[in-house]
Structure 1
Amino acid sequence: MPNDIAPVSETDTGTDYEIRTEEALRDLIGHPSGLAAKKSLPKLDKYCRDFIALSPFLCIGTMSGDGRADVSPRGDPAGFVQVLDDNTIAIPDRPGNHRLDTMSNILANPSVGLIFMIPGFEDTLRINGRATLTRDPAILDRAVIKNKRPEIAIRIQVEEAFLHCAKALKRSRLWEADAQVDRSVMPSLARIILNQTSEGEAIDEATVKTADERLEESYRKHLY
Structure 2
Amino acid sequence: MSAQRYGCRMFDPHNDLHRVGSLDELRTHYRHPHAGTRGKERPALDAASATVAERCRFATIGTFDVLGNADVSPRGGPSGFIRVLDPTHLAMADLGGNNRLDTLENIVATGRVALLLITPGKSETVRVNGAAFVSTDPELLHGFQLPKPPKSAIVIRVETTYMHCAKAFMRSGMWDQTVWAELADVPDGAAVLSCQGVVDVDAETTRKWLDDDYAEALAVEAQTT
Deviation at 1:24, TM superposition (A): 1.2
Q: Percentage identity across aligned positions?
A: 34
* Residue aligning to 1:81: 82
> TM-score, with normalisation over the residues of structure 2?
0.84
Distance in 2 between residues matched to 1:183 and 1:75, nearest whole Å: 22
Aligned length: 208
* Residue aligning to 1:97: 98
Contact 2:20–2:26, Cα closer than 8 Å, also in 1 = yes
- How far does the alpha carbon of each residue in 1:57-111 deviate from its partner, in whole angstroms, 9 at most, with x for none? 0000000100100000000112320000011001101111111110111111111
Structure-2 change in CA distance of 1:186 and 1:27 (3 Å)? closer
Deviation at 1:204, TM superposition (A): 4.5
Contact 2:81–2:92, Cα closer than 8 Å, also in 1 = yes
Contact 1:194–1:208, Cα closer than 8 Å, also in 2 = no
Distance in 2 between residues matched to 1:115 and 1:196, nearest whole Å: 29
Name the SS for the 2:123 alignment partner: coil
Name the SS for the 2:66 alignment partner: coil
Aligned partner letter, 1:48: S
* Residue aligning to 1:21: 22
* Residue aligning to 2:6: none
Name the SS for the 1:120 alignment partner: coil
* Residue aligning to 2:141: 140
Q: Is 2:210 the counterpart of 1:215? A: yes
Distance in 2 between residues matched to 1:8 and 1:214, nearest whole Å: 39
Q: Is 2:167 the counterpart of 1:162? A: no
> TM-score, with normalisation over the residues of structure 1?
0.84
1:164-179 equivalent positions in 2, closer than 5 A: 164-179=164-179
Aligned partner letter, 1:109: T
* Residue aligning to 2:38: 37
User: Root-mean-square deviation (CA), in Å?
Assistant: 2.3
* Residue aligning to 2:57: 56
Contact 2:80–2:144, Cα closer than 8 Å, also in 1 = no
* Residue aligning to 2:5: none
Which consecutive unaligned segments of at least 5 residues does structure 2 have? 1-11
Deviation at 1:208, TM superposition (A): 5.3
Aligned partner letter, 2:215: R
- How far does the alpha carbon of each residue in 1:153-181 deviate from its partner, in whole angstroms, 9 at most, with x for none? 10000000000111111111101121114
* Residue aligning to 2:66: 65
Name the SS for the 1:150 alignment partner: coil
- How far does the alpha carbon of each residue in 1:12-62 deviate from its partner, in whole angstroms, 9 at most, with x for none? 4x6xx2111111112221332221011100011111112112321000000
- How far does the alpha carbon of each residue in 1:170-209 deviate from its partner, in whole angstroms, 9 at most, with x for none? 111101121114675145523431331359xxx454x952
